[in-house]
Amino acid sequence: MRETKALPRERWKGRIDRWMPICFLACVLAACSPTTEPPVRLDTTAMDTFVSVTVFDGGEDRAEIEGLIRQAFREIGRVEEIATDYSDSSEVGMVNTSAGKETVSISTEIAGLIRESFSYSTMSDGAFDVTIGPMVKKWDFLAENPVVPSEREIHELLPLVNYKLVVLSGARIFLPLKGMRLDLGGIAKGYAVDNAIHLLRRKGLKEMIVDIGGNLGIYWEGTHLLDSTKATIYIRHPRRDDEFFGSFDVGTGGVSTSGDYQRFLVHEGVRYHHILDPKTGQPVRTMVSVTVVAPTATMADALSTTAFVLGREKGMRLIEELPEVDGIMIFEQGDSLGYSLSSGLQGKFVRSHPN
């Protein structure tokens, strides 16, 4: 008898219930506080998650800022349209349906994003791999009732997962084996965040946070990475819905978290989560959560997954080797959670203590 259960939806309901008092409190406190110019914030959903853009520039026309935020939403929607692998008509979809058949012309933009993803593959010896597509499709964590694939099914798909097989020349791409699939899910949200930030900056805005499902882009003119205390980033507690694990301050840069609690299913008491090792096709067992701070959200997005798959030693070594990149790794330690910090976050990360 299989006892497979899809938990994310239950989890969201629980989370919403727990957040309600906080929302209420926030509204009350906001109403009590002295009113200087409040930030302009709009929310939407895209890329299978929630999206929010908050602009803190004061003194501008608020309606105009709202218009600019809507432009940023359209840009995020555009990135989703070209990068999604759920639609056969998207650029990535067309590449996938032509796998094993023919070479496809793609935009220089998508070609560039694929090349950037290969650079993370190269620096991690394949721990990050956008050809993970067949595995992601097999596990299908977004399904109504996801099931654990058999060893044999995964074994059969393993030869299809290898970025080195991809033939990419200029803006022409060929996936040589039938069944190969690109999945830009480990980098596209970060890329969309960066594009939204660039758009708002080009329009003259100077202070903003773009949030696509916890992939954050923070921009404060005149600040750099961890050198400012203007924005405090809270890391969600991997095991307690209503708590934060810790926080740190950022001025400008990208922040992204890969966690085993974000998308998962539980089968016979074992948690199977969505961060798959390209070499085994199985969820990575050694890590709970990795948060990365980097100069761009694209880097942060890709590197949080890369470091998660690489594990504690190798992952932290990669984070330390890369200039202007820092990270927090959370892992199981007996019955509780332990964590390690890269050198740039030592003395800056503040562990949250439950009240």
CA dist., res. 2 & res. 149, Å (int): 12
Question: Which residue number, 41 or 62, has a Cβ lying nearer to other proteins?
Answer: 41
Residues 62-91 that bind other proteins (CB under 8 A): none
> Which residue lies nearer to other proteins by CB, 1 or 29?
29
Q: What is the DSSP letter of 344?
A: G
* Helices 62-83/188-202 angle, 10° precision: 150
Among 5, 10, 13, 74, binds other proteins (CB under 8 A): 13
Residue 185 interacts with other proteins (CB under 8 A): yes or no? no
Give yes or no for residue 20 binding other proteins (CB under 8 A): yes
Structure tokens at 176: 């040589």
Is 349 a residue that touches other proteins (CB under 8 A)? no
Interface with other proteins includes 306 (CB under 8 A)? no
Q: Is the Cβ of residue 118 or residue 219 nearer to other proteins in the bound state?
A: 219
Element (H, E) at 42: strand 40-46
Chosen residue from 22, 177, 270, 350 binding other proteins by CB under 8 A: 22
Q: Which long-range contacts (CB under 8 A, 24 or more apart) does 101-108 make?
A: 101/178, 102/174, 103/167, 103/172, 103/173, 103/174, 104/172, 104/173, 104/174, 105/171, 105/172, 106/171, 106/172, 106/173, 107/82, 107/171, 108/171
Tokens 């409190």 sit on residue? 25
Which of the ranges 130-138, 170-178, 238-246, 272-280 carries the binding residues for other proteins, by CB under 8 A?
Answer: 238-246
- Tokens standing for residue 175: 């996936």
> What x/- string results for residues 247 through 286 when contact with other proteins is judged by CB under 8 A?
--------xxx-x--x------------------------
Task: Encode 181-191: b = buried (16+ Cβ within 10 Å), e = exposed.
Answer: bbbbbbbbbbb
Of the candidates 298, 300, 328, the one whose C-alpha atom is nearest the C-alpha of residue 312 is 328
- Give the residue, chosen from 46, 47, 56, 345, that forms a contact with other proteins under the rule CB under 8 A: 56
Give strand pairing partners of 45.
Answer: 50
CA dist 353 and 278 (Å) reads 35
* Residue number with CB closer to other proteins (128 or 245): 245
What is the rounded end-to-end Cα distance, in angstroms, of the chain? Answer: 41
- Distance separating alpha carbons of residues 1 and 115, to the nearest angstrom: 45
Residue 233 interacting with other proteins (CB under 8 A): yes
Answer for which of 7, 11, 41, 331 binds other proteins (CB under 8 A) is: 41
Helix (H, G, I), strand (E, B) or coil at 75: helix
| 54 lies in the site for other proteins, by CB under 8 A | yes
Pick the binder of other proteins from 133, 214, 311, 315 (CB under 8 A): 214
**Quick one: which of 4, 5, 10, 43 contacts other proteins (CB under 8 A)?**
43
Of 39-47, 92-100, 122-130, 166-174: span binding other proteins (CB under 8 A): 39-47
CB of 345 to other proteins, least distance (A): 13
Interface pick for other proteins out of 236, 263, 273, 274 (rule CB under 8 A): 236
Site residues, other proteins (CB under 8 A): 13, 15-17, 19-20, 22-23, 26-27, 29-30, 32-34, 36, 38-39, 41, 43, 50, 52, 54, 56, 209, 211, 214-216, 218, 229-236, 238, 244-245, 255-257, 259, 262, 289, 291
